[in-house]
Structure 1
Amino acid sequence: MADATLEQLRVIVVVYVSAIAPLVLVPVLRAKGRLPAWVTPVYIGSFLACALGWELWFSYGWVAGDPVDLRRADVLNTMLPMQINWLLNSLADAGTVCLGGLLLAWWACGRRSEIFRRWHWGAFAVLLGWCIAQNLFVEMFLYHDQLAEGKPLSWAPFAPTGPWLNPTLFRYAGRTITLQGQLPWLIVPPILYGVVIETVKRREAAG
């Protein structure tokens, strides 16, 4: 830890906080009645989708990719071991990104619960924009070293083009944004929003 740079310390702190904070807040707020009942199954489902959809694959490099411990500095491998890297990332994806995006959509649409009962393009645009924006931030400022050119990511169900069809979309300050890195967060938002609507409808129908 003493050998970590400020940038590496920032990565470590952001990963742990974004993973653990929702894990604590969701059950606490749910117990206090501050969150609707559908949030918990959506949180769990989002975690499973992110873990199985790409985080496990990217961490272990299962199909034509390098495992994460070969793509980053040793100090990060020590503080964020590969064995829990996928877990932390999936928790952050499910809580901070997925639930956070739904919360932003709710706020942006006037705190109207109707957006979770039927498709609302404005709400979806906010959710999609948030998912893409946070991923661009992650690729450019947090994980840029382990996602750099020459460090291939594994094929994954939510990154189906794999490393074989992975053009660079643009560059920023010498850092690259690739198609493969963006695909999961283009695929997840419509699925997530659709599942939320269906979950809310079923729970309301069940009384």
Structure 2
Amino acid sequence: MLYAASLLPALVIFALFLVGKFPRWLMATYVGSFILCAIGWELWISYGLVDGLDVASRRPQAMNEVIPMHINWVLNSLGDAAAVGLAGVFLVWLAYGRTNSAFMAWRWGAFAILSAWFIAQNLFVEMYVYQQQLAEGFRLSWAPLMPTGPWYNPTLLNFDGRSVQLQTQLPWVLMTPIYYYLLLRCYKKWGVQTRDGV
């Protein structure tokens, strides 16, 4: 699932970009968000860089064989950039009447849509996709977008025997304004000539 969610969109995006069917401003947003996710948290929690366990210590050996630790952060960052970031752009585009008006200037409605999407998907991922790797008892590294680190990490909610913790929710809470700012900058620089349609 991780390979499909990470590599397939990346291949489609780059193929469309090469044939001129994927806007330059969206490509810049995609690449920028990949970098932000990688340095914001994925590298740190994959390797356990600051007082945390690396991903190989937090998951079953079968998973380690299928997804080696050294590419884990790449796959997760690619998935974050496409399945989360670009999906959020699409939701905003739909909500604003299939126009790029929300990418020309800051719109609180667009920010709210991105925020709701980023947090909702992250809750789902933490509770149902990566619960075993993120459960209480596994220390995750400090990261720039996980500033409380493992030292202050209260449980925010429990549901159906699954927990949600502060540390793992912070990246997408903090990423929302950063991502929207990136999106606006990329559109201003490369997309202003494309007023309608993504």
Structure 1 letter corresponding to 2:154 = P
More relative contact order in 1 or in 2 (CA 8 Å, sep 6+)? 2
User: Who is 2:100 aligned against?
Assistant: 113
User: Who is 1:165 aligned against?
Assistant: 152
For 1:170, what is the secondary structure of its paired residue? strand
Distance 2:70 2:193 in 1: 40
Distance 1:25 1:119 in 2: 29
Distance 1:204 1:96 in 2: 21
Distance 1:87 1:204 in 2: 27
User: Who is 1:152 aligned against?
Assistant: 139
Distance 1:47 1:34 in 2: 20
Answer yes or no: is 1:67 the counterpart of 2:54: yes
Structure 2 letter corresponding to 1:150 = G
Displacement after TM superposition at 1:35 (Å): 2.8
Can you list the C-alpha shifts for 1:113-146, whole angstroms capped at 9, x where unaligned? Answer: 1111111122111111111111111111110001
Of all paired residues, the percent bearing the same amino acid is: 49
Q: Extract structure 1 runs of 4+ deviating beyond 4 A.
A: 204-207
User: Who is 2:166 aligned against?
Assistant: 179
For 1:145, what is the secondary structure of its paired residue? helix
* Kept after mapping to 1: 8 A contact 2:122/2:169: yes
Distance 1:63 1:111 in 2: 43
Unpaired stretches in structure 1, ≥5 consecutive residues: 1-12
Across the aligned residues of Structure 1 and Structure 2, the Cα RMSD in angstroms comes to 1.7
Structure 2 letter corresponding to 1:115 = A
Structure 2 letter corresponding to 1:45 = G
Q: 2:110 aligns with which of 106, 123, 128?
A: 123
- TM-score, normalization by structure 1: 0.89
Count of residues in correspondence between the two structures: 194
* Kept after mapping to 2: 8 A contact 1:59/1:85: yes
User: Who is 1:90 aligned against?
Assistant: 77
Answer yes or no: is 1:58 the counterpart of 2:40: no
Matches within 5 A, 1:12-91: 13=1, 15-91=2-78
Distance 1:84 1:75 in 2: 15
Distance 1:83 1:42 in 2: 24
Distance 2:185 2:193 in 1: 12
* Kept after mapping to 1: 8 A contact 2:56/2:69: yes
Displacement after TM superposition at 1:16 (Å): 1.1
- TM-score, normalization by structure 2: 0.93
Displacement after TM superposition at 1:201 (Å): 1.6
Answer yes or no: is 1:104 the counterpart of 2:91: yes
For 2:147, what is the secondary structure of its paired residue? coil
